[in-house]
Chains A and B, each alone.
Chain A
Amino acid sequence: MSASVVMILTGVLVATACALPGVFLVLRRMAMMADAISHAILPGIVAGYFLAQGPSLPAGFAGASLAAIVTVALVEALQHTRRVGGESAIGIVFPAMFALGVLLVSKYFANVHLDTDAVLYGNIEFAAFDVWLVNDLNLGPRSLWVMGALCVINLLFVGLCFKELKLATFDPGLAAALGFSPVLIHYALMAVVSVTTVGAFTAVGAILVVAFMIAPAAAAYLLTDDLGRMIALAIGIGAASALSGWFVALALDASVAGAMATMSGLFFLLALFFSPSHGLVARARRLRRQRLRLALENLVVHLLNHEHQVSEAHEAEIAHLSSELRWSPRFARWIVAIAKRDQLVQQANGYLSLTAAGRDLARQAAASRDREG
């Protein structure tokens, strides 16, 4: 396998493994916990390195998982004291753990393989050269084995606990009443996040793993209302980010993991603006349509109220409309133009009168407003 294929495959596997727990982090509003865990595992990894006298996967996993548990417990203990707000507790615990990790690295491994920059943004470029040897048998790149296993584990977790996760996420009260422990689900999810972060750490580092977990899931959240579809979309967006990011990195000769994570941010931005259901553009258009409809209704109801009155002529002047309905003159002219185009009103001798269609709309609107009180 060529080095490029290994990099892309690793990226896709990282994206898939991260998207699965990421969806639930976004839905449960715990995204920053991923950030805290990904930083806080550093001292655990260093301790594992220290104990195993070198890079060792099991020791690293054990140390990092322990550090992740300590972090979650510390954050919750701090919140439990009620002396510290939730987000402040996170902001105290993870920098302290990270500082401890950096301290250990620079004190004991200043000249060793553990590069502090790689801690932040990973070393996916070397994925192809770090092969797994068992009794001199070359089993291929280690990163593919690790991330592939994590994908399987996370798929099994989400697949087997789908109902429980869904219930505990959307209605924790009901989940507890039915006998599923939301606390248990919470810790299971935290465990999955920790293990995934540790596995992805060598490839993409402490900060970019947060992008892989949160950005595709958040983009998917803006595109669908169905949990199953959201998970599938998050995985798809993550994989697309990995693939397109690799080409960007190739073109710029820049960090591969960084480019992949940047692309996931770009995909999120696209969803943020152009999602048909929750995007900013669609939202703005919906608001504009509602405002227009309301203004048209106001116009025809106003004209209907004053039809066949002595003051009819005066009330139907465009200039008067803007002060009566509190519209700017420009807005009033615009609404009248649209009303004329839709043949709701007609203009004769400088003042407006209702057409038959306009009168119908006005009666409907007035009736529905009366009903709503």
Chain B
Amino acid sequence: MIKSDLDLKLLEKCAGCGACFSICPSCITIPGYDPREVIKDILAGEFEKWLESKHIWQCLECHYCLEMCYQHYGFENAMTALRTIATKRGKFPPQVKRGWDMFAKSSRLGDPAMPARKKLGLPEPKKSGKDEFLKLHELVLKAREAENEKKTGTDDE
């Protein structure tokens, strides 16, 4: 699963570089957070042990590593891949789950604060695109289901 998301050839270079380590805000401030360890394990095929780790959620997606990376690849790609696998298996921090659920239900991460808007004299917020969003979400899920069925069908043959 991880191979389809990551360019392992590029990651091999990452393993021997580590430039991101010196500028990554989480590396500087959070003890035990080290991209080089994670990359080593991914290359050795042992990424599974990171899926339960709180470390994979400490990448702030600030894209600083991406900008400093001479391959313009960045450690964040490795972390995003691990987080995606973790969430597919239902392993996410409670707040991420809450955020996703609210988004899927309402198309937003919070509704406009109406009493405060009134007090400030702000106009009515414009209409949200919730209905279209919900329809698109349904279509994406349906297409995915159909694809999965097709795949299972081929596997059976």
A and B interact physically = no
